[in-house]
Amino acid sequence: MGQSLSSQLVNLLAAFLLLIAFAMLSQRRILTLIRLFAWQGAALTASTLIVAYTTGQVHLYFSAALTLLLKVLLIPWVLHRLIDRLQIRWDVETLINIPATMLIGIGLVIFAFALAAPISELANTLTRATLGIAMASVLLSFLMMIVRRKAVPQVIGFLAMENGLFFAATSATYGMPLVVELGVALDVLVGTFIFGIFFFHIREQFDSLDIRHMEKLKQD
Amino acid sequence: MTDAPGIAFQILQSVFVVFAAPLLLGWANQCRAWLQNRSAPSILLPYYTLAKLFHKDAVIASNASPLFRITPYVLFGCMWLAAGIVPVLATDLPFAPAADIIALVGVFALARVFSALAAMDIGTSFGGLGARREMLIGFLAEPAMLMILFTAAFISGSTQLNTIVETLARREFAIYPSLAFAAVAFLMVLLAENARIPIDNPTTHLELTMVHEAMILEYSARHLALIEWAVAIKLFAYTTIGIALFVPWGIAAAGDWGALPLAFAALAAKLALAGAGLAFLETLLAKLRLFLAPEFLSTAFLLGVLGMLTHFLMQG
């Protein structure tokens, strides 16, 4: 009974994660995007905690704590400071209009679900049903990186993709070894800082964070 | 099926819905006024408005066709029929097998077609404008609504609203992520279909932003009263569909008089919450530009589809 309730809770959180991935895809404002990213981290923390509690895997508690610290508190705070410094509060531009993006998103979800179905049948973990959702949120974040024109939303897409991968690891095999997780977490943190520095350089060079300017080879 | 208690329940429910519907509207308006720090109108205000309108003389444009005259009655009839099909107080009503969820959506569509035709009948520009906007919203909201209903139908294995409610109400407690998606989508469709705030402002006096109000500008007196009443019943029907799909606990079975007080109490509590929630949402949100309405409704459609997909993924 406890097993099935926690499995249901994890499924619910997975659905929430997918919902947030779509919300991020359709979001026009950067501030809300960052808030959504923090929520995604919170959902991830909660689901990791539930899996840790049910299966008694101690290292999952650490990774939940790590997720909470990094993805709910630290990185959103860094991003907030970044956009304050860069003074970017304008609406995000997309390459394709939002309803079309959503339709592509549905296609990706169907693809991910179809891909995950045979794997889920083989698995006997508590969280097997959520693998499809984890893959879908990875693909959706990838789509977000593709359709956004500005650098900051692209980075948020990258970070969200890492969230999706993390969730996939938890749902497929109860998480990666702690050393790997620590390494990934550090990478993400360092990545965020480097991106932050890059933003300033891009803006200094091109007076804008629109990455279209980087496609020009020469300045005329 | 056609036994006497069942029929008594059916009549009771139908009469109850018609007379309780304006109360829900009045309650929502009262809550909204409180939230916006205005002095609230009486909760009975919709009844007074209806009584006032019924006592006035109807003015009808000289070039109005019979269609214009019969539309209020058709609207009222459609909404009443819909309210008779939805299990509000009890399941297993004698009317319920008459129509499944697809037919229910069809009944709402029939009402929409008639109101759009009547709006264009007089030939004023506002009428045509309102009708076109209404059809734009309608054709986007309908597929979303169907997807939501299909999600519930897949879970219970039937498109009969009756069976769906029985399956969901009498099951052992379980969390369905697919229903969570469907619930959010349903909320969006409810707001759009009932001309509530993010899509349309029911209290606006600015003709250029009107959708529903623009269609009924030409109506007066008893015709207007019937339309206003039909609007109230529609809101009531949608709310009770939402209750039936997502929080069906406490509903009685037809003929079971003992369970009736509990069903009434549960319904009253849920409706009070729903009305307050509606007012809260309307205070929180701003009206969207008309051209953002497709985006709003395509999001609802997306959530409905996601609900269905997660049902297949998780088998529950």
DSSP character string of A46-93: HHHHHHHHHHT-HHHHHHHHHHIIIIIIIHHHHHHHHHHHHT--SBPP
Res B6 pLDDT > 80: no
As a residue count, chain B comes to 316
- Mean pLDDT for all residues in chain A: 81
Of A99, A113, A120, Cβ closest to residue B298: A99
Instruction: Give the containing element (helix H, strand E) for B252.
Output: strand B252-253
| A102-160 residue pLDDT tens | 888 989 998 988 888 887 777 666 666 788 888 899 999 999 888 887 778 888 888 88
CA gyration radius, chain A: 18
- Mean pLDDT for all residues in chain B: 84
> Does residue A143 fall inside a structural domain?
yes
Q: What pLDDT score was predicted for residue A219?
A: 60
> Does residue A220 fall inside a structural domain?
no
Nearest alpha-carbon partner for A214 in A206, A29, A83: A206
One DSSP character per residue, B88-132 reads SSEES-TTGGG--HHHHHHHHHHHHHHHHHHHHHS--HHHHHHHH
Q: Which domain holds residue A199?
A: 2-215
Q: Is 0.85 exceeded by the ipTM?
A: no
The winner for highest mean pLDDT among A47-51, A176-180, A205-209, B70-74 is B70-74
Distance from CA of A103 to the nearest CA of B (A): 8
Check residues A37 and B166 and name the one with the higher pLDDT: A37
Q: Touching check for A18 and chain B: CB below 8 Å? A: yes
Res B216 pLDDT > 50: yes
- Judging by DSSP bridges, how do beta strands B90-91 and B252-253 pair with one another? parallel
Number of other CB atoms surrounding residue B101 within 10 Å: 23
Distance from CA of B314 to the nearest CA of A (A): 5
**Close Cβ partners of B96 (under 8 Å, ≥ 6 residues apart):** B85, B87, B160, B161, B162
3-state helix, strand, coil in chain A (%, to 5): 85, 5, 15
Q: Which residue of B has its CA nearest to A117?
A: B313
| B268-314 residue pLDDT tens | 888 889 888 988 888 888 888 888 888 888 888 888 888 888 888 77
| B108-152 residue pLDDT tens | 999 999 999 988 888 888 888 889 988 999 888 999 999 998 888
Q: What are phi and psi of B170, to 5 degrees?
A: -100, 10
> Does residue A186 fall inside a structural domain?
yes
Greatest C-alpha distance within chain B: 60
Res A185 pLDDT > 90: no
Of B181, B295, B298, Cβ closest to residue A15: B181
What type of residue sits at position A141? Answer: S
Q: What pLDDT score was predicted for residue A39?
A: 92
Res B73 pLDDT > 90: yes
Mean pLDDT of B247-273: 79
| Residue B263 binned pLDDT confidence (cut-offs 50, 70, 90) | confident
Q: Which two tokens stand for residue B140?
A: 């986007």
Res A194 pLDDT > 90: no
| Residue A3 binned pLDDT confidence (cut-offs 50, 70, 90) | low
Give how many domains chain A has, as a whole number.
1
Asked if A76 and A35 count as a contact pair (C-beta separation under 8 A), the reply is: yes
Q: Do the Cβ atoms of B299 and A12 come within 8 Å?
A: no
| Angle of helix A2-26 versus helix A30-55 axis, rounded to 10 | 170
Q: Which residue of B has its CA nearest to A103?
A: B302
Q: Which two tokens stand for residue B73?
A: 């009655």
pTM for the structure as a whole: 0.82
Q: Touching check for B184 and chain A: CB below 8 Å? A: yes
Asked if B81 and B107 count as a contact pair (C-beta separation under 8 A), the reply is: yes
> Does residue A40 fall inside a structural domain?
yes
Q: What pLDDT score was predicted for residue B316?
A: 42
Alpha carbon distance B232, B215 (integer Å): 16
Q: What pLDDT score was predicted for residue A38?
A: 92
Q: Touching check for A22 and chain B: CB below 8 Å? A: yes
Q: Do the Cβ atoms of B313 and A19 come within 8 Å?
A: no
Q: Do the Cβ atoms of A22 and B305 come within 8 Å?
A: no
Res A1 pLDDT > 50: no
Of A8, A113, A120, Cβ closest to residue B175: A8
> Does residue A192 fall inside a structural domain?
yes
Contacts of A109 in chain B (CB under 8 A): 306, 309
> Does residue A7 fall inside a structural domain?
yes
